[in-house]
């Protein structure tokens, strides 16, 4: 091992670290997702990533790929294995304004894209919290505030560079390795780390209108009806989250988070009926584009225990959302250390997202664009959050129409039937691609695909 390790360190351009080294870090967005890796390596390019894969395989070390570090299951961490952490050196974004393309490294977060692209009056699709990584978000799907207009992150991917299990550095696009390109668009890390994504960009106005309306519990039925009325007429430029969380005086509240990619007066007009209900907080302002993806950052801070669990629902059903309200309230009442837990229904305009055929790529969850999701946050390490999330969804008694892998991040612990269910009708094709690029299941930390026989 010693000579193989020194050989690896000699050729690897970035840092190879072990516990005790100043650069060693296993930090993740969710504290509960951290695992003590034997090695954490910080590559500088695809060649380094390839070397790290070959070194880990030669030593029988489990490999975890870290992009933005936001998985709550530990899918980007490994106990005793080797982490390839692209967040340190492979985190850059280059814009080609002429062809409206963004070249995004595998460890970049989308704050960097927002900042760089808007300098050219352009924007790309990503998520809704700007410190999330492109790595997991894109390979898993990627819903964001611009999805109503432009689709998912994965719908806007035009090419990628992938390092496969045998260390090959491959281009993937419709014309190069199209099967690999099909697989990485929804198949997560199953085919290897993506070291560069190439995304389409769109013309973007410099300012957007955002609004936060906070209502007391007594207005819940009216808010649900009013949001349903809004859903019937809203434009793809309008997106919203219906959130259950604590209000300004730490009381359970219903929050309508609204984003309008247009001028303030039109944005205010679009939600005037919701404002007329009399929220206890009515904040609204035209803000620079980059602030749109930062507005949830205060809630979504790093370093505490977190678990995301979601299910796709076909519509906003008031009875279901009322059960969700009571289920969420019970959690925060009975678990004081989990009082920051929020429940939310994401409401993206569906037309653009659902216009892509289900078999166009691995991403399969195109029956609806509404995710009902709980973001459990807790400080008491002994709390069994996964059990709590299951109990919550049982109590809500919701029959989902699928699940979005990035919000049902079960990691490596549960494969088999869960993986088949997640990938649905695309699973058999994914198994064939897995056999070609990763027959030994080197990459198995997120909905691991069993290779075809």
Applying CB under 6 A, which residues contact ligand FAD?
Answer: 29, 64-71, 75-76, 86, 106, 127-129, 132-133, 135-137, 139-144, 188-189, 193-194, 300, 406, 445-446
Q: Are 148 and 175 in contact (CB under 8 A)?
A: no
Nearer of residues 220 and 306 to ligand FAD, judged by Cβ? 306
Nearer of residues 35 and 436 to ligand FAD, judged by Cβ? 35
Beta bridge partners of 42: 15
H/E element holding 342? Answer: strand 342-347
Nearer of residues 189 and 353 to ligand FAD, judged by Cβ? 189
Strand residue runs (E) in 185-272: 194-200, 202-203, 207-216, 238-246, 252-260
Least Å distance, CB 112 to ligand FAD, is 13
Least Å distance, CB 70 to ligand FAD, is 3
Nearer of residues 51 and 445 to ligand FAD, judged by Cβ? 445
Report the chain's C-alpha Rg in angstroms.
22
Least Å distance, CB 104 to ligand FAD, is 9
Nearer of residues 303 and 424 to ligand FAD, judged by Cβ? 303
Least Å distance, CB 273 to ligand FAD, is 26
* Calpha distance 253→315 (Å, rounded): 21
Nearer of residues 65 and 396 to ligand FAD, judged by Cβ? 65
Least Å distance, CB 123 to ligand FAD, is 15
SS3 404: coil
In this structure, are strands 82-85 and 63-66 parallel, antiparallel, or unpaired? parallel
* Calpha distance 350→233 (Å, rounded): 13
Least Å distance, CB 392 to ligand FAD, is 18
Q: Which residue is nearest to ligand FAD (CB)?
A: 135
Q: Are 400 and 413 in contact (CB under 8 A)?
A: no
Beta bridge partners of 347: 240, 370
Nearer of residues 145 and 427 to ligand FAD, judged by Cβ? 145
* Calpha distance 439→314 (Å, rounded): 36
Nearer of residues 135 and 183 to ligand FAD, judged by Cβ? 135
Least Å distance, CB 399 to ligand FAD, is 22
**What are the Cα distances from residue 219, in Å, to 63, 242, 277, 278, 405?**
49, 13, 8, 9, 33
Least Å distance, CB 397 to ligand FAD, is 25
Give the DSSP per-residue string, 286-345: EEEHHHHTTTTTTTT-SSBEEEEEEEEESS--HHHHHHHHHHHHHHHHH-GGGTT-EEEE
């Amino acid at each position: 091992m010693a000579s193989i390790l020194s050989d690896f360190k000699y050729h690897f351009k970035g840092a190879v670290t072990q516990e005790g080294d100043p650069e060693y870090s296993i930090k993740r967005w969710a504290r509960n997702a951290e695992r003590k890796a034997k090695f954490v390596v910080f590559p500088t390019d695809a060649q380094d990533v390839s070397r790290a894969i070959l070194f880990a395989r030669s030593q029988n070390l489990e490999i975890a790929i870290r992009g933005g570090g936001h998985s709550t299951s530990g899918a980007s961490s490994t106990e005793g294995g080797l982490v390839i952490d692209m967040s340190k050196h492979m985190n850059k974004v280059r814009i080609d304004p002429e062809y409206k393309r963004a070249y995004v490294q595998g460890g970049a977060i989308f704050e960097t894209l927002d900042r760089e692209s808007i300098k050219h009056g352009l924007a790309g699709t990503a998520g809704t919290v700007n410190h999330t990584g492109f790595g997991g978000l894109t390979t898993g799907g990627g819903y964001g505030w611009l999805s109503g207009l432009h689709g998912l992150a994965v719908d806007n991917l035009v090419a990628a560079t992938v390092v496969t299990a045998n260390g090959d550095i491959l281009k993937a696009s419709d014309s190069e390795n199209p099967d690999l390109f099909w697989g990485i668009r929804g198949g997560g890390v199953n085919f290897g780390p993506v070291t560069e994504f190439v995304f389409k960009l769109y013309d973007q106005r410099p300012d957007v209108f955002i609004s936060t309306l906070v209502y007391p519990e007594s207005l819940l039925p009216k808010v649900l009806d009013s949001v349903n009325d809004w859903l019937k007429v809203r434009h793809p430029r309008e997106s919203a989250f219906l959130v259950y969380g604590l209000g300004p005086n730490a009381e359970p509240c219903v929050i309508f988070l609204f984003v309008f990619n247009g001028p303030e007066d039109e944005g205010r007009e679009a939600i005037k009926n919701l404002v007329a209900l009399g929220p206890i907080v009515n904040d609204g302002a035209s803000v620079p584009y980059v602030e749109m993806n930062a507005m949830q950052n205060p809630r979504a801070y790093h370093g505490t225990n977190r678990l995301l669990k979601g299910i796709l629902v076909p519509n906003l059903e008031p009875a279901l959302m009322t059960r969700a309200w009571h289920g969420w309230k019970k959690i925060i009442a009975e678990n004081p250390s989990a009082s920051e837990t929020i429940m939310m229904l994401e409401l993206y305009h569906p037309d653009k997202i659902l216009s892509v055929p289900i078999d166009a790529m691995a991403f399969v969850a195109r029956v609806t664009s509404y995710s009902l999701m709980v973001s459990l946050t807790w400080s008491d390490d002994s709390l069994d959050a996964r059990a709590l999330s299951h109990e919550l969804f049982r109590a809500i008694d919701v029959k989902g129409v699928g699940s979005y892998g990035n919000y049902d991040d079960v990691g490596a612990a549960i494969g088999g039937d869960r993986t088949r269910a997640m990938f649905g009708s695309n699973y058999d094709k994914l198994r064939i691609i897995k056999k070609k690029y990763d027959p030994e299941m080197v990459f198995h930390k997120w909905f691991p695909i069993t290779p075809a026989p």
